[in-house]
């Protein structure tokens, strides 16, 4: 069972993000800042464009935001993070979170859901899950630390 993410979930989400930080080959290179995350995520949750759900058994969550880009007037939903605790992966939870995210994106009149993976945790498995749910691979990203 899923429910919307609330401001009082931020502490738990931070705990899960610290687990993600340790697990992720990418984000383990980024210094964690729980105070910044608490402030930023709490502010995001208060926005009408926020889309976010957490498993009532606290096994995982997904959140993002509905927004337009500078080059596209269509409203799209952008997944910012989908995270399932390692011991609960491989079941239906991720698919349920994605479908609920889609449902709320439709409610907000979004045209597309844009999602991906940047953690380098089971990248191919995550992309295949999205494909099984009807998504199409569109692009890759690159990164370079300059400072």
Whole-structure pTM value:
0.86
Assign domain 2-132 to its CATH superfamily.
Answer: Gcn5-related N-acetyltransferase (GNAT) (3.40.630.30)
Task: Check residue 46 and give its pLDDT.
Answer: 96
Q: CA torsion 75→97→80→115, rounded to 10°?
A: -60
What angle is formed at CA 119 by the lines to CA 53 and CA 128, rounded to 5 degrees? 75
For residues 133 and 98, the answer to whether their CB atoms sit within 8 Å is yes
- Segment 67-87, tens digit of pLDDT: 998 998 999 999 999 999 989
Paired tokens of 95: 């698919």
Paired tokens of 125: 């498995």
Does 131 score more than 80 pLDDT? yes
In 1-145, which ranges are continuous DSSP H helix? 10-23, 34-45, 93-107, 123-132
- Segment 15-31, tens digit of pLDDT: 988 887 777 766 667 78
For residues 85 and 16, the answer to whether their CB atoms sit within 8 Å is yes
Rg of the chain's alpha carbons, rounded to an integer?
15
């Amino acid at each position: 069972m899923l429910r919307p993410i609330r401001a009082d979930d931020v502490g738990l989400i931070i705990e899960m993000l610290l687990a993600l930080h340790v697990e992720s080959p990418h984000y383990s290179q980024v210094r964690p800042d729980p105070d910044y995350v608490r402030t930023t995520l709490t502010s995001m949750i208060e926005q009408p464009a926020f889309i976010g759900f957490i498993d009532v058994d606290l096994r995982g969550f997904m959140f993002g935001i509905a927004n337009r880009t500078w080059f596209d007037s269509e409203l799209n939903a952008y997944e910012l993070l989908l995270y399932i605790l390692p011991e609960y992966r491989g079941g239906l939870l991720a698919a349920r979170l994605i479908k609920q995210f889609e449902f709320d994106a439709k409610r907000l009149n979004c045209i597309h859901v844009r999602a991906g993976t940047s953690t380098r945790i089971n990248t191919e498995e995550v992309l295949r899950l999205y494909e099984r749910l009807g998504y199409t691979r569109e692009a890759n990203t690159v990164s370079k630390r300059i400072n």
